[in-house]
Amino acid sequence: MKMASKHITQETFDAAVRENIEEFELGPEEAVKEAVEQFESQGVDLGNIVKTTPKVSADGPQEPTHDILQALDDLQESMARSHPQEVSAHLARFCEQCKQQKACRFLAAEKGAYPILLATWKLAAAGDQGLLLQALNALSALTDGQPDLLDTQGLQLLVATLARNADSANDLVKQVLSALRAIAGNDDVKDAIVRAGGTETIVSAMTRHLASPQVCEQSCAALCVLALRKPENSRVIVEGGGALAALQAMKAHPQEVGVQKQACMLIRNLVARSQTFSQPILDLGAEALISRARATHRDCEDVAKAALRDLGCHVELQELWTGQKGNLAP
């Protein structure tokens, strides 16, 4: 089956829906359904199109006011009026809309959402931590599936925010790490984060918040994404103390399966394409800690085994108990 490769703009789709109502006198829902079928039959990919049912008044069908664009307009207006409470409410609405479907995020990005969110973030960075968290959440939601939106300025701001707030409360640090992790899915973005000093900042945040399992888990997860299939990034992480910090986190939180799992995955990513790091990491006591995670948490079995194998350790295959004992044979 040939994949759809043609694309149309949101405006083209909305105009077709309006035409279906005005010319063919279809109901709003029927008009949307008809437009979808019409374009799909022509091989048009509608994955990035918001399929909103337009409101119809006595004057005929109205221009569709897509909720996400309405939230974006309101956000911009409240920013211009410098109303932090309004900004907060509109950010929450915008974030909610972004999370609903990819098409909403795509449309918002097309209509200039990124620079608006960046401006909101800068405003919040001046001291309003609650707003800062919201701006980060919104940015993270917008860039989900479209990490190329993030430019150098945004990356530097992200790393600077983490560096500035590494001593702050754990939620905040956890949130910045979570945003970093979400955004770092793209290879170019990974490199840019590392170049902007992101790895040092993450290791520093984990070391300062070693008592927080959430920060440890998110730090390991963020480093894990940065190291994936990237030997040069792995080198920066290992030399910056990332492996040591991850093992310290494992030691500090033996019962936290999330910490154990993410740390195992990080160790594996660090050595998977850079065998030279295996011995230095083993010298830090990795084998015993990973083996303990494997023995303690069933969820860690696969990741721990993979980490031990890539470290060059002998991995015994544990046979699952079948409920029968040999010496109890009749």
- Indicate if 138 and 201 belong to the same structural domain: no
211, 252 in Cβ contact below 8 A?
yes
Tell me if 59 is assigned to some domain. Answer: no
Measured at the CA of 138, the angle between CA 161 and CA 223, to 5 degrees, comes to: 50
- Residues 85 and 181 grouped into a single domain: no
Which one, of 252, 267, 255, 274, lies nearest residue 306 by Cα? Answer: 267
142 and 251 within one domain? no
Percent of the chain whose predicted confidence (pLDDT) is above 90: 66
The pLDDT of residue 153 is 87
Residue 88 lies in a domain: yes
pLDDT at 4: 46
Distances (CA, A) of 292 to 216, 229, 254, 295, 308: 18, 26, 8, 5, 11
Decide if pLDDT at 1 tops 50: no
Domain edge (last residue) among 124, 149, 174: 149
The answer to which of 23-27, 153-157, 315-319 has the lowest mean pLDDT is: 315-319
Q: How confident is the model at residue 64 (pLDDT cuts 50, 70, 90)?
A: low
Same domain, 290 and 170: yes
pLDDT bin (cut points 50, 70, 90) of residue 330 is very low
Q: Where does the pLDDT of residue 147 fall: very low under 50, low under 70, confident under 90, or very high at 90 and above?
A: confident
Do 188 and 94 lie in a common domain? no
The yes-or-no verdict on residue 327 having pLDDT over 60 is: no
Give, in degrees to the nearest 5, the angle at Cα 220 between 215 and 226.
125
Q: What whole-number distance in Å separates Cα of residue 64 and Cα of residue 103?
A: 15
pLDDT at 137: 87
Which has the minimum average pLDDT: 119-133, 199-213, 299-313? 119-133
For 283-330, give the DSSP string.
HTTHHHHHHHHHHH-GGGHHHHHHHHHHTT---PPPPPP-S--GGG--
Number of domains in the chain: 3
What pLDDT, in 10s, does the model give residues 172-199? 888 888 878 877 877 878 888 898 889 9
CATH code of the domain in which 260 resides: 1.25.10.10
pLDDT of residue 308: 97
Are residue 308 and residue 172 in the same domain, yes or no?
yes
Stretch 18-24: mean pLDDT:
92
User: Rounded distance, CA 170 to CA 183, Å?
Assistant: 20
Residue 156 confidence (pLDDT):
84
Residue 163 · residue 149 · CB < 8 Å? no
Q: Is the pTM of the predicted complex or chain greater than 0.75? A: yes
Same domain, 136 and 183: no
Instruction: Evaluate whether 301 touches 266 at the Cβ level (below 8 Å).
Output: no
Q: What is the pLDDT of residue 144?
A: 85
In a domain, 156, yes or no: no
Structural domain boundaries enclosing 138: 65-149
When the pLDDT of each residue in the chain is averaged and rounded to a whole number, the result is 89
Least confident of 136-150, 194-208, 215-229, 298-312: 136-150
Considering the domain architecture, whether residues 269 and 208 belong to the same structural domain is answered as yes
Give bridge partners of residue 56 from the DSSP assignment. Answer: 61
Does the structure show a pLDDT above 90 at 301?
yes
Q: What is the pLDDT of residue 326?
A: 47
Q: Which of 149, 178, 201 is the last residue of a domain?
A: 149
pLDDT one-digit tens code per residue, 93-145: 999 999 999 999 999 999 999 999 999 988 887 778 889 889 988 988 998 88
307 neighbors 264 (Cβ within 8 angstroms): yes
Look at 135-144, 229-238, 300-309 and tell me which has the smallest mean pLDDT: 135-144
Give the pLDDT confidence score for residue 154 in this predicted structure.
87
| Domain endpoint, select from 114, 149, 184 | 149
What integer is the mean pLDDT of 16-38?
94
- Alpha helix (H) residue ranges in the chain: 10-22, 28-41, 67-80, 84-100, 102-110, 113-125, 129-143, 152-165, 170-183, 187-195, 198-208, 213-227, 231-239, 242-252, 257-272, 278-283, 286-296, 301-310
Confidence at residue 181, expressed as pLDDT on a 0 to 100 scale: 84
Beta bridge partners of 60: 57
238 assigned to some structural domain: yes
Which of 64 and 25 is assigned the larger pLDDT? Answer: 25
| Cα separation, 311 vs 242, whole angstroms | 16
The dihedral through the CA atoms of 26, 30, 36, 38 has a sign that is: negative
Same domain assignment for residues 113 and 230? no
289 and 184, same structural domain? yes
Could you tell me if residue 5 is inside a domain?
A: no
- Taking residues 45-66, report their average pLDDT: 81
Shared domain check, 231 and 301: yes
Report which of 111, 33, 121, 8 is spatially closest to residue 67, judged by C-alpha positions: 111
Residue 35 lies in a domain: yes
Asked if 77 and 192 sit in the same domain, the reply is no
Answer whether residue 330 is part of any domain.
Answer: no
How many residues would you count in the chain?
Answer: 330
Examine residue 277 and state whether it is found in any structural domain, yes or no: yes
Q: What is the mean pLDDT of residues 236-260?
A: 98
